[in-house]
Amino acid sequence: MYPETKLVAKRTLDGPGDEREEPTWSGDVSLTDRQFGALEAAFDAGYFEWPRDATAEEVADELDISAATLHYHLRRAERSLVESFLESRRE
């Protein structure tokens, strides 16, 4: 159909999702109850989707806290998660 097209790479997969490696991270992270609650509420509300299903203000209202407080707890939780993940990959 497109004679000028040239195939430069091809790979075969056994099934959907086979291109991903098995996770190696143990997930040993210490979060405070507030950090966990903020992270869980934000995730469940779709805050981490693209585009977002909920704003920080909406999630904060659900938790009866300010948006600034929500951002504080989320950043602390995210830092702990990323730090733990990176440490596990560097070992």
Per residue in 16-31, pLDDT (tens digit) is 655 556 556 666 788 9
Residue pLDDT, tens place only, 69-78 = 999 999 999 9
| Consecutive H or E run containing 59 | helix 56-63
pTM over 0.75? The answer is no
At 30 the pLDDT is: 87
CB neighbours of 74 closer than 8 A, spacing ≥ 6? 35, 38, 39, 42, 56
* In contact, 63 and 38? CB cutoff 8 Å: yes
Nearest-10 Cα torsion for 68, 73, 78, 79:
100
